[in-house]
Amino acid sequence: MARKISMKQAINEALDLEMRRDPTVIVMGEDIVGGAGSPGEEDAWGGVLGVTKGLHAKYPGRLLDTPLSESAYIGAAIGAAACGMRPVAELMFLDFMGVCFDQILNQAAKFKYMFGGKARTPVVIRAMVGAGFRAAAQHSQMLTPVFTHVPGLKVICPSNAYDAKGLLIQAIRDDDPVIFCEHKNLYGLETDVPAEAYAIPFGEANVVREGKDVTIVSYGLTVHRAFEAAEKLARDRIEAEIVDLRTLSPIDWDTVIESVENTGRLVVVDEANPRCSIASDVAAYVAEHAFGALKAAPQMVTAPHTPVPFTPVLEDLYVPTADAIAAAVSRIAPRAMAA
């Protein structure tokens, strides 16, 4: 039965349903319960923004508050996965990956390959990404391209509550390590979500708007900015098609190429920094594989190549805006063309 719930609730519900279904699913992280061991303080936090609140009471002993040591508990989660558990480790902010990157890059991502396909590592690392939360340069980055660069990792970044629930359930059921990126500024956004469990397969982009004039490819928060831009452009009779990638590794090239073949124009919107980003990856792939379909040069709309500023005025300019996306479209799909 569908009802509107927030992305934060949807993630909680996905964890709840999978913990109920599969006793090997455990959750680890800093303050994901909070107050454990202190009388009257059970489940005081539910994680830094309350995503796991309430699960401790339902599944006592299966949510593990860890020491403030990412290298220890991310390593422990990967080890537990290699030994048959299905751990979901919360890295809080993806920015913190630096101290546990060996465990992710050299261990989890390599086990299957180095043990001749015999090892499975069904671990999910959940973490918040993205700017706009007034959390400064070390808690606001969109580091998705760092992970898509590494073979052996699956990288997911949902744009809404429905996708977040279905993709997280798929991530937990998946036998490979999954980096699950949650945009903190989407946590409050409500969409229709069925109460039942459902899994969205990886590698399936979602065409969230159809249009014939230009393809806008994006993921996460900027999908909504692209949608705003498309509504503005429609008033100028330019119809934009929006492809929400949803999963960045694997990535759904077929849907991207098919859309560009229909529209002839590509704008890629990425909140990550521009160099070696999802934007540059998509632009390069399309240029290589669908060059003949392109009527104009692919455009990239990204964050600038700077750290995320703490000043609110500058931070608001940092994430690609609807106006910037509309301007990029206008550069390659002028109004006269649409007549």
Partner 1 sequence: MMTDQRIKPVVMPKWGLSMAEGRITGWLKQPGDRIAVGDEIVEVETDKFAGVVEAGDAGILRRVVGEKDAIYPVKALLGVIADPEVPETDVEAYVAGYVTPAADDDDDEVAGPAYEFLDTAAGRLRYARRGEGGEAVVLVHGFGGDLDNWLFNIDALAAKASVYALDLPGHGQSTKTMPAGGVAALAGTVIAFMDALCIGPAHLVGHSLGGAIAMQVAIEAPGRVKSLTLIGSAGLGTEINAGYLAGFVAAASRRDLKPVVEQLFADPKLVTRQLLEDVLRYKRLDGVEDALRSLSSQFLDDGRQGGVLAPRLEGVEAPVLVVWGEEDRIIPAAHATALDGRARAEVIPGAGHMVQMEKASRVNELILGHIGG
Among 113, 115, 198, 310, binds partner 1 (CB under 8 A): 198
Q: Shortest Cβ distance from residue 201 to partner 1 (Å)?
A: 5
Under rule CB under 8 A, residue 87 binds partner 1 = no
CA distance 334 to 332: 6
Q: Does residue 197 belong to the site contacting partner 1 (CB under 8 A)?
A: yes
Tell me the sheet residues that pair with 87: 26
User: Tokens 């798929």 — which residue?
Assistant: 170
Question: Is residue 339 part of the contact set for partner 1 (CB under 8 A)?
Answer: no
Task: Mention every residue, 6+ apart, whose C-beta is less than 8 A from residue 313.
Answer: none
Question: Given the complex with partner 1, which of 110 and 209 has the nearer CB atom?
Answer: 209
| Greatest pairwise CA separation for the chain in angstroms | 70
* Contact range with partner 1 by CB under 8 A, out of 36-44, 55-63, 179-187, 191-199: 191-199
The answer to whether 16 contacts partner 1 (rule: CB under 8 A) is no
Segment (H or E) for 299: strand 299-302
Tokens 């340069």 locate to 137
Tell me which of 36, 76, 135, 207 binds partner 1, using CB under 8 A.
Answer: 207
Q: Give min distance, CB of 197 to partner 1, in A.
A: 4
Is residue 158 involved in binding partner 1 (CB under 8 A)? no
Rounded to whole angstroms, the Cα distance separating 195 from 142 reads 30
In whole angstroms, how far apart are CA 18 and each of 49, 59, 103, 196, 275?
21, 11, 25, 11, 37
DSSP states along 207-239: EEE--SSEEEEE-TTHHHHHHHHHHHHHHTT--
Of residues 132 and 166, the one with the C-beta less far from partner 1: 166
Say how many C-beta atoms besides its own lie within 10 A of residue 131's C-beta. 25
| Beta-bridge partner residues of 154 | 178
Of the two residues 120 and 209, which places its CB atom closer to partner 1 in the complex?
A: 209
Q: Which stretch binds partner 1 (CB under 8 A): 66-74, 112-120, 195-203, 331-339?
A: 195-203
257 touches partner 1 by CB under 8 A: no
Q: How big is the site for partner 1, counted in residues (CB under 8 A)?
A: 19
Tokens of 45: 């936090």
Options 69-77, 78-86, 204-212, 279-287: segment touching partner 1 (CB under 8 A): 204-212
**298 counts as binding partner 1 under rule CB under 8 A:** no
Among 96, 111, 147, 162, binds partner 1 (CB under 8 A): 162
Cα–Cα distance for residue pair 139/157, rounded to 1 Å = 17
Say if CB 315 and CB 286 are below 8 A apart: no
Which residues are identified as catalytic? Answer: 139
Cα–Cα dist 5/2, whole Å: 9
Residue 234 Cβ, how far from partner 1 at the closest point, in Å?
9
338 binding partner 1? (CB under 8 A): no
Of the candidates 220, 209, 194, the residue with the CA atom closest to the CA atom of residue 243:
209
Query: Which of 185, 247, 255, 302 is close enough to bind partner 1 by CB under 8 A?
Result: 255
Go through the chain and tell me how many residues it has. 339
> Which one of 23-31, 47-55, 118-126, 205-213 is the stretch in contact with partner 1 (CB under 8 A)?
205-213
Q: Which of 190, 258, 261, 281 binds partner 1 (CB under 8 A)?
A: 258
Which listed range, 76-84, 192-200, 284-292, 313-321, lies at the site for partner 1 (CB under 8 A)? 192-200
List of residues contacting partner 1 (CB under 8 A): 1-2, 162, 166, 194, 196-201, 204, 206-207, 209-210, 254-255, 258
